[in-house]
Chain A
Amino acid sequence: MTTIEERGRTYGYADLPALMRRMTGDEKHGPAATSTLDVLWVLYDRVLRVGPEGMDDPGRDRFLLSKGHGPMAYYAVLAAKGFLPVEWLDGFGAYDSPLGHHPDRTLVPGAEIGSGSLGHGLPIAVGTALGLRAQGLDAARVWVLIGDAELDEGSNHEAIAFAGPAGLERLHTVVVDNASATHARPGGIAARFEAAGWSAVTVDGRDHEALYAAFTAPHPGRPHVVVARVEPKSA
Chain B
Amino acid sequence: MDTMRDRFAPVVSRLLDEDPRVAVVLAEIGVDGFAEARRRHPDRVINVGIREQLLVGAAAGLALTGLRPVVHTFASFLVERPFEQVKLDLGHQDAGAVLVSAAASFDWPAGGYTHMAPGDVALLDTLDGWTVHVPGHPDEAAALLRHAVAAGDDKVYVRLSVQSNGEGLPVDGARFRTVREGGSGVVVAVGPMLDAVLAATEGLDTTVLYATTVRPFDAEALRRAVRVARPDVVLVEPYLAGTSTAAASDALSDVPHRVLGLGVGRRELRRYGQLAEHIAAHGLDARSLRERIGGFLEAGVRA
A interface residues with partner B (beta carbon < 8 Å): 58, 104-106, 112-114, 117, 119-120, 122-135, 137, 154-155, 158-159, 161-162
Q: Indicate if the CB atoms of A134 and B58 lie closer than 8 Å.
A: no
Q: Contact between A127 and B61 (Cβ–Cβ < 8 Å)?
A: yes
A206 to B58, CA, bound (A): 31
Kindly report which residue of chain A lies nearest to residue B59, judged by CB atoms: A127
Q: For the complex, count residues of B whose C-beta is within 8 A of A.
A: 31
A114 and B51 contact, CB distance less than 8 A: no
B277 at the interface (CB under 8 A from A): no
Selected contact of B53 from candidates A113, A123, A132, A133, CB within 8 Å: A123
Assembled-state Cα–Cα distance A128/B65 (Å): 6
Number of A-B contacts (CB under 8 A): 103
Tell me if B31 counts as interface (CB < 8 A to partner A). Answer: no
Q: How far is the CB of B252 from chain A (nearest CB, A)?
A: 34
Interface residue ranges of B34-50 to A (CB < 8 Å): 43-44, 46, 48-49
Against A, the Cβ 8 Å flags (1 = close, 0 = not) of B65-98 are 1110100000000000000110011001110000
Residue of B nearest to A114 (CB): B92
Most buried by A among B51, B59, B67, B85: B51
A126 touches B49 (CB 8 A): no
B117 within 8 A of A: no
**For the complex, is B275 an interface residue (Cβ under 8 Å from A)?**
no
Whether B132 sits at the interface, judged by CB under 8 Å, is: no
Contacts of B100 in A (CB 8 A): none
A119 contacts across to B, CB distance below 8 A: 53
9 A-B residue contacts at CB 8 Å?
Answer: A113-B64, A114-B93, A120-B89, A124-B61, A126-B61, A131-B23, A131-B65, A155-B85, A159-B58
In this complex, the member of A113, A125, A137 whose beta carbon has the largest number of chain B beta carbons within 10 angstroms is A113
Please indicate the chain A residues that have their CB under 8 angstroms from the CB of B46 in the complex: 130
Closest chain A CB from B153 CB (angstroms):
13
Contact among B23, B58, B69 with A126 in the assembled complex (CB-CB below 8 Å): B58
Residue B262 at the chain A interface, CB threshold 8 Å: no
A131 touches B61 (CB 8 A): yes
Q: Do B88 and A117 have beta carbons less than 8 Å apart?
A: yes
Q: Which residues of B contact A126 (CB under 8 A)?
A: 54, 57-58, 61
CB pair A127 B44 closer than 8 Å: no
Chain A residue nearest in CB terms to B52:
A158
Given the contacts A158-B53, A162-B48, A123 and B67 also touching, CB distance less than 8 Å: no
